[in-house]
Amino acid sequence: MAVKIDGKMVSAQIKANLAERVASLKERGVNPGLGTILVGSDPGSVKYVAGKHADCAEIGVNSIRKELPADATFEQIAEAVRELNADPACTGYIVQLPLPKGIDENAIIDLIDPKKDADGMHPYNLGELVLHARGDITTPLPCTPRGVIELLNAYDIDLDGKEVCVLGRGITIGRTVGLLLTRKAVNATVTLCHTGTKDVRKHMREADVIIAAMGSAGFVKPEDVKEGAVLVDVGVSRVFDEEAGRYRVKGDVDKASYEKVSAYTPNPGGVGPMTRAMLLENVVEMAERQL
């Protein structure tokens, strides 16, 4: 029977450890603070930001919120970024994406102080990750890819020498997870598939691990998965459930595929909680570096 990789359980263990580290930091005069910049009132973004601040309260990290209207200009958002860069109470922060249409998201991210980049997505920090294929990295790591690897480690799933098929080339995980997977400490071989890939299902069938991050509900079918593979479902689609009369979150993996694999992450309840936990991990590590 396939092992269900429980992201909620693992993230709870990580947060318990972080709470102890935060208490130790406070004893030494360092008070970690997580900032968020939320533009507009997109329901998904509002809920996600609220969850981050709830996590902060759980482990003793201070919360700093900046909320702007949906019609905020580039300069108004940029000013909020500059304020958090200069705020000593803010150890690290994130700009919640997506931003309203017409706002250059990359230009906003470029303005973030790399030392306060809680998402690990600033070009400087991604460049450091590219440069350091070996040894320790002392810059923030991208949260979702880091969460995937921590989750698999928690279940003793060894990726050394394994063939990993990544579906999707988005910046949140598709284009970044390979940087972590191919580091010497992990040592996996990665194939990145996208809309231009000729025979994506052939690549899936040959993979020891599939990381699905396309946002295409149920894309990975049982016939695409080899016996004993590991499935990591990161995709998020909102699909209308006619029986329930409401929308539900669906992952990229068809649940019928679970019967063939050795382990899988549920969606929701798998990678999502780990992404939030890694955001906190980045902030606590930033505070520890201050010492």
pTM of the model: 0.94
CA distances from 41 to 37, 70, 267 (A): 12, 7, 24
Instruction: Establish whether 96 is a catalytic residue.
Output: yes
Checking if the pLDDT of 244 tops 90, the result is: no
Average pLDDT over residues 134-159: 97
pLDDT at 148: 98
170 is annotated as contributing to ligand binding: yes
51 is annotated as contributing to ligand binding: no
Angle between helices 271-289 and 143-154 (to 10 degrees): 110
Instruction: Establish whether 136 is a catalytic residue.
Output: no
pLDDT band at 256 (very low <50, low <70, confident <90, very high): very high
Checking if the pLDDT of 261 tops 90, the result is: yes
pLDDT band at 55 (very low <50, low <70, confident <90, very high): very high
40 is annotated as contributing to ligand binding: no
How far is CA 149 from its chain centroid?
11
Checking if the pLDDT of 104 tops 90, the result is: yes
Of 52, 66, 116, 162, which is the active-site residue? 52
pLDDT at 249: 84
pLDDT at 241: 82
29 is annotated as contributing to ligand binding: no
